[in-house]
Chain A
Amino acid sequence: MANKEISNLKFALGILLTIAGFVIAIIVNIAVPQVADVNIKEYEYFGRLYNFNDLYRYIVLCIIAIFVVIGVFSYFDEDKRKKYVKKAPFRFALGLALALWDVLGTKYLLLPQPFFPGPAAIVETFLNEPAFVLENTLYSLRLYAAGFTVGVIFGVGSGILIGWFPKVYYWVSPILKITGVIPAVAWMPFALTLAPTPFSAAVFLMTMCAWFPIASFTAQGVQSTAKVHFEVAKTLGANTAQLVFRVAIPHAMPQIFGGIAMANGFMFTTLVMSEMMGQPGGLGYYIQLSRVWSAYYKVFAAIVIMAVLFSIILAVISAVQHRVLRWQKGLVK
């Protein structure tokens, strides 16, 4: 055990290595002269002028700050320390890659334009139209929240009915299976014409794509509840509703979360696809709009926002899952 522990010195070096790449990226951005002829626009915010290089450096600085904070929190936990040190070389390389990309994409403009803008050009999006980007991000977030909520409630609710009542299983599960093989976006033309608003059409499509994984996993979880648990609950005084809500559903929780995790990926896809085809806003809409103007740096910017946003959503779901399923073997340390 002792020889595997990460010493304080090694951990400090890990932090240094982690941030070194990003520090290099900043230095490169400052030190390497702008060789290619690029129009560097200045934008005024809070009474000062900024160009894309300024914002790029601030963002890289933020990344450094985040890794330092993570490092400080990891310091107290042996497992996290190990993980952090293990990831250091990759993060170092990430910083170097950023520096290289900066040189090729902005300073010397060697990458084919306008398809592969440099990192600074991508962040210029946020200087260029921050309010519009924010508006579209919030639209996506709102749509996701609505679609996720309706999709999970509908999926879990119908899954419980399918799992509990053999009659419902008989009549509904074939339909469920069929919808499982049809990509939900295929219903888009109907959804857009029949739903009262484009927003509700997208919520419908997200619910459709989430239905199969969530409902079938939930039903499976309910059906696999051990008979002995129902019997014990009955002898302790549980009524039928309590057999559902205090035996079958808690037992099915791991499957329910499995279904939600799976559906979540589909929902991201469906969300972006429907935004690209007929929503009045959202990151997908923003991509579509930028593409029309050949503003590929904005497309990249939208992709970066999606990556960050969806990662955060996944992290939140997995945190909730860990909390709810802490009773499971192997999940508790």
Chain B
Amino acid sequence: MAELSKTVLEIAGVNRIYSDDVNNTVEALSDISLDVERGEFVTFIGSSGCGKTTLLRLIAGLDVPQSGKLLLDGKPIHGTNPNRGYVVQQGGLFPWLDVWHNIAYGLKVRGLYSKRKAEVAKYINLIGLEGFEKSYPHQISGGMAQRVAIARALINEPELLLLDEPMGALDSFTRADIQDKLLELRKGSGATMLLVTHDVDEAIYLSDRIFIMTPRPGKIKDILTVDFPHPRHRGGAEFLSLRRDILERLELASAKPQPEYQI
């Protein structure tokens, strides 16, 4: 295998503009440039509509930008690939498959199921859902469903795991539980993780770097490095001061006057 560079994902000058039938345009992403290192955990945070999902969809290969480039390991991203796992905002489990077969889906479609069947059980163990293998998505809780969605993406052993608010609708206990699972999983697999969240605490708890985004047009406003060691104490002084810092920056971003929208 060729020497892998430190940078796994390289995004340069990416623009994504949506336009509807009545010629209204939304600049969902404007001139986005960023690099992500191998094994890094980065978080995108920002108010609703600032283009976080749009960015993840571009990286997943489900959408293409109007301009700019996206490189994975130095190669342009073309379409989807199982080496980029994507957990969508609402989980998106297949309701017609039970937990076992949802998780096994990636192996099945890639023709690896018969060889690597045992791994399904391993991932079910990992997310703590033993005994629920035969349950269908409507029979399990929201938190369990999110864990299944994450396991389903992980079984392909992706280089890059894209997580779009995987804990959006969960209570704080389940959240903390999944957060710890994610850190554990990263340690085990060495995967690079890109997380979208609205939760500042979650961002600080998990990330190596935090990207603060602003809407209309969607831009990256700030990049903060979180360098204190895991496990991070949510009540610690460093934690709280960083938290205040981020909240101020977010508030500033949303309070920014927007003359172009004045009538």
Please tell me if the beta carbons of B82 and A229 are within 8 angstroms of each other in the complex: no
Q: Smallest CB-CB separation from B136: which chain A residue?
A: A327
Please tell me if the beta carbons of B80 and A235 are within 8 angstroms of each other in the complex: yes
| Interface residues of chain B: helix, strand, loop or mixed (majority) | loop
Cβ contact of B94, chosen from A239, A250, A328, cutoff 8 A? A250
Please tell me if the beta carbons of B62 and A235 are within 8 angstroms of each other in the complex: yes
Most B C-beta atoms less than 10 A away, residue of A234, A251, A328: A234
Interface string of B64-98 (1 = CB under 8 A from A): 00000000000000011110111010101011111
Please tell me if the beta carbons of B94 and A242 are within 8 angstroms of each other in the complex: no
B139 contacts the other chain (Cβ, under 8 Å)? yes
Please tell me if the beta carbons of B96 and A232 are within 8 angstroms of each other in the complex: no
A329 contacts the other chain (Cβ, under 8 Å)? yes
Interface string of B137-153 (1 = CB under 8 A from A): 01100000000000011
CB-CB < 8 A to B95: which residues of A?
Answer: 327-329
B interface residues, tally (CB under 8 Å): 29
CB-CB < 8 A to B80: which residues of A?
Answer: 231, 234-235, 237
A64 CA to B92 CA, complexed, in Å: 52
CB-CB < 8 A to A326: which residues of B?
Answer: 136
Please tell me if the beta carbons of A237 and B156 are within 8 angstroms of each other in the complex: yes
B115 contacts the other chain (Cβ, under 8 Å)? no
CB-CB < 8 A to A332: which residues of B?
Answer: 136, 139
A87 contacts the other chain (Cβ, under 8 Å)? no
Q: Which of A225-274 contact B (CB under 8 A)?
A: 226, 228-229, 231-239, 242, 246-247, 250-251, 253
Cβ contact of A233, chosen from B79, B81, B98, B105, cutoff 8 A? B105
A326 CA to B88 CA, complexed, in Å: 25
Closest-CB distance, A164 to chain B (whole angstroms): 18
CB-CB < 8 A to A236: which residues of B?
Answer: 82, 85, 105-106, 109, 152-153, 156
Cβ contact of A235, chosen from B60, B90, B98, B136, cutoff 8 A? B60
Please tell me if the beta carbons of A232 and B86 are within 8 angstroms of each other in the complex: yes
Please tell me if the beta carbons of A238 and B97 are within 8 angstroms of each other in the complex: no
Interface string of B149-188 (1 = CB under 8 A from A): 0001100100000000000000000000000000000000
Please tell me if the beta carbons of A237 and B88 are within 8 angstroms of each other in the complex: no
CB-CB < 8 A to B139: which residues of A?
Answer: 332
Q: Which of B37-85 contact A (CB under 8 A)?
A: 60-62, 79-82, 84-85
CB-CB < 8 A to A228: which residues of B?
Answer: 88, 90, 92
Closest-CB distance, A79 to chain B (whole angstroms): 20
Q: Which of B184-203 contact A (CB under 8 A)?
A: none
Interface footprint category on A = 20 to 34
CB-CB < 8 A to A242: which residues of B?
Answer: 109
Q: A228-B90, A229-B92, A329-B138 are in contact. Are A235 and B97 (CB under 8 A)?
A: no
Please tell me if the beta carbons of A231 and B62 are within 8 angstroms of each other in the complex: yes
CB-CB < 8 A to B61: which residues of A?
Answer: 235
| Interface residues of chain A: helix, strand, loop or mixed (majority) | helix
A329 CA to B95 CA, complexed, in Å: 9
Closest-CB distance, B113 to chain A (whole angstroms): 12
Q: Could you count the A-B residue pairs with CB atoms below 8 Å apart for me: how many are there?
A: 71
CB-CB < 8 A to B109: which residues of A?
Answer: 233, 236-239, 242, 246
B110 contacts the other chain (Cβ, under 8 Å)? yes
B122 contacts the other chain (Cβ, under 8 Å)? no
Q: Smallest CB-CB separation from B83: which chain A residue?
A: A237
B117 contacts the other chain (Cβ, under 8 Å)? no
Q: Smallest CB-CB separation from A226: which chain B residue?
A: B92
Closest-CB distance, A252 to chain B (whole angstroms): 10
Q: Smallest CB-CB separation from A241: which chain B residue?
A: B109
CB-CB < 8 A to B85: which residues of A?
Answer: 235-236
Most B C-beta atoms less than 10 A away, residue of A253, A326, A327: A327
Cβ contact of A229, chosen from B86, B94, B98, B138, cutoff 8 A? B94
Q: Smallest CB-CB separation from A253: which chain B residue?
A: B96
Q: Which of B217-239 contact A (CB under 8 A)?
A: none
A228 CA to B88 CA, complexed, in Å: 8
A76 CA to B88 CA, complexed, in Å: 45
Q: A231-B62, A329-B138 are in contact. Are A237 and B92 (CB under 8 A)?
A: no
Please tell me if the beta carbons of B86 and A235 are within 8 angstroms of each other in the complex: yes
Closest-CB distance, A218 to chain B (whole angstroms): 15
Closest-CB distance, B152 to chain A (whole angstroms): 7
CB-CB < 8 A to A235: which residues of B?
Answer: 60-62, 80, 82, 84-86, 153
A242 CA to B105 CA, complexed, in Å: 11
CB-CB < 8 A to A327: which residues of B?
Answer: 95-98, 136, 138
Closest-CB distance, B98 to chain A (whole angstroms): 7
B108 contacts the other chain (Cβ, under 8 Å)? yes
A247 CA to B96 CA, complexed, in Å: 9
Closest-CB distance, A249 to chain B (whole angstroms): 10
Q: Show 12 A/B contacts (Cβ-Cβ < 8 Å), sorted by A.
A: A226-B92, A228-B90, A231-B62, A233-B109, A235-B61, A235-B62, A235-B85, A235-B153, A236-B82, A236-B152, A253-B96, A327-B95
Give me the interface of B with A, judged by CB distance under 8 Å.
Answer: 60-62, 79-82, 84-86, 88, 90, 92, 94-98, 105-106, 108-110, 136, 138-139, 152-153, 156
Please give 20 more A-B residue pairs, beta carbons under 8 A apart, in addition to A236-B109, A238-B105, A329-B138. Answer: A228-B92, A231-B88, A231-B92, A232-B86, A232-B88, A233-B109, A236-B82, A236-B105, A237-B80, A237-B110, A242-B109, A246-B108, A250-B94, A250-B97, A251-B96, A253-B96, A327-B95, A327-B98, A327-B136, A329-B95
Among all A-B residue pairs, the 6 with the closest Cβ atoms: A237-B82, A236-B106, A235-B86, A238-B109, A250-B96, A234-B80
